[in-house]
């Protein structure tokens, strides 16, 4: 790809959703997805690769989005890596104005599409022609370069209490945990970020979206908040501990961004790095 080709490309928008978004009442999160994807007549693709019950999940979103007036809605059903290598399917994804990755299991999602034509098409749609790529629950975790694949939320942030795996790579240096307040996952996210302090943690509540706009701004919308965990300046004894032990963590930095929060790329202060990690991630097809 030449430098001129790169300059011609423009990023789209990301919606990182904490799961259980409203599908029956005001539907603020889904309404925003439609708007960012280009409106009710834009082609929207619902990817159910993370789910064990893809037809049921597809039916749920088909009803919710059709009720909002969407006219060009398709189910991208991917149940194997072989299916994810289909060229026609990849072209369908790359041409979409909006791509919505449903919930389920993020490890299943990446087992099926990580490193395939489908995965590359999602990145190309976002980085190339400005598509809106949304992920909810497991789909939200899978958007990032690093994702949490397992780990209990109960109890203290033990060493190796949760594990990381590779995600789709649309966001670098941020790891997402979803259903955050509802499932009391602060200790799980804290444990991961404390052991991997080059990452910042973003815990996203249900029916809440962290939106990364193409105009180089971010905002929080919905009915909850986003919790940011920053352990880059932490003093700890992690190196001396074994799996299952609880570390001493001093100087943890925590930010709470309620719905309605909005920040731009020129912001200064303790949240600036988080904003730039979201806005400046390098996405290659």
CATH number of the domain residue 93 falls in: 3.40.50.880
Helix ranges (DSSP H) in the chain: 3-8, 28-37, 54-67, 81-84, 87-94, 106-113, 117-128, 138-142, 186-195, 272-279
Instruction: Give the model's confidence band at 4: pLDDT under 50 very low, under 70 low, under 90 confident, else very high.
Output: very low
Q: How many domains does the chain have?
A: 1
Which long-range contacts (C-beta less than 8 Å, at least 24 apart) are formed by 253-257?
A: 253/229, 254/227, 254/228, 254/229, 254/230, 255/227, 255/228, 255/230, 256/225, 256/226, 256/227, 256/228, 257/210, 257/220, 257/225, 257/226, 257/227, 257/228
Q: Which of 21, 51, 146, 179 is an active site residue?
A: 179
57: containing domain: 3-275
pLDDT in tens, 26-45: 999 999 999 999 999 999 99
Contact 276, 263 (CB under 8 A): no
284 within a domain of the structure (yes/no): no
248 within a domain of the structure (yes/no): yes
CA atoms within 13 A on the CB side of 82: 0
Active site residue 52: no
pLDDT in tens, 206-249: 999 999 999 999 999 999 999 999 999 999 999 999 999 999 99
Active site residue 206: yes
The residue ranking higher by pLDDT, 91 or 284, is: 91
CA-to-CA distance for 130 and 113, rounded, in angstroms?
Answer: 21
Residue 5 has pLDDT above 70, yes or no: no
Residue 9 has pLDDT above 70, yes or no: no
162 within a domain of the structure (yes/no): yes
What pLDDT shows up at residue 96? 97
Active site residue 276: no
Residue 221, classed as helix, strand or coil, is: strand
Encoded tokens for 154? 């109960």
283 within a domain of the structure (yes/no): no
285 within a domain of the structure (yes/no): no
171 within a domain of the structure (yes/no): yes
282 within a domain of the structure (yes/no): no
Secondary structure (DSSP) of 242-285: -TTPPPPEES-EEEEEETT-EEETT--STTHHHHHHHHS-----
User: Is the pTM above the cut of 0.75?
Assistant: yes
Q: Which of 13, 51, 127, 137 is an active site residue?
A: 137
Q: Which of 146, 206, 219, 225 is an active site residue?
A: 206
200 within a domain of the structure (yes/no): yes
């Amino acid at each position: 790809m030449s430098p001129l080709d790169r300059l011609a490309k423009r990023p789209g928008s990301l919606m990182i959703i904490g799961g259980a978004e409203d599908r029956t009442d005001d539907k603020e999160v889904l309404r925003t997805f439609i708007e960012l994807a280009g409106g009710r007549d834009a082609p929207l693709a619902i990817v159910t690769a993370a789910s064990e019950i893809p037809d049921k999940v597809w039916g749920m979103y088909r009803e919710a989005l059709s009720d909002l007036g969407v006219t060009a809605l398709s189910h991208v059903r991917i149940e194997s890596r072989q299916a994810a290598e289909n060229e026609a399917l990849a072209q369908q994804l790359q041409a979409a104005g909006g791509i919505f990755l449903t919930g389920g299991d993020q490890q299943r999602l990446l087992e099926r599409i990580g490193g395939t034509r489908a995965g590359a098409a999602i990145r190309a749609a976002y980085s190339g022609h400005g598509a809106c790529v949304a992920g909810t629950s497991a789909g939200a975790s899978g958007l990032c370069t690093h994702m949490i694949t397992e780990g209990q939320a109960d109890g203290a942030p033990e060493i190796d209490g949760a594990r990381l795996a590779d995600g789709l790579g649309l966001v670098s240096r941020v790891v997402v945990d979803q259903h955050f307040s509802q499932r009391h996952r602060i200790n799980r996210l804290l444990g991961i970020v404390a052991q991997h302090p080059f990452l910042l943690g973003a815990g996203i509540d249900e029916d809440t979206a962290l939106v990364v706009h193409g105009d180089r701004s971010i905002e929080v919308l919905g009915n909850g908040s986003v919790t940011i965990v920053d352990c880059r300046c932490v003093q700890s004894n992690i190196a001396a501990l074994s799996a299952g032990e609880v570390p001493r963590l001093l100087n943890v930095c925590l930010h709470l961004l309620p719905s309605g929060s909005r920040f731009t790329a020129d912001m200064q202060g303790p949240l600036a790095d988080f904003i730039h990690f979201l806005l400046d991630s390098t996405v290659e097809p």
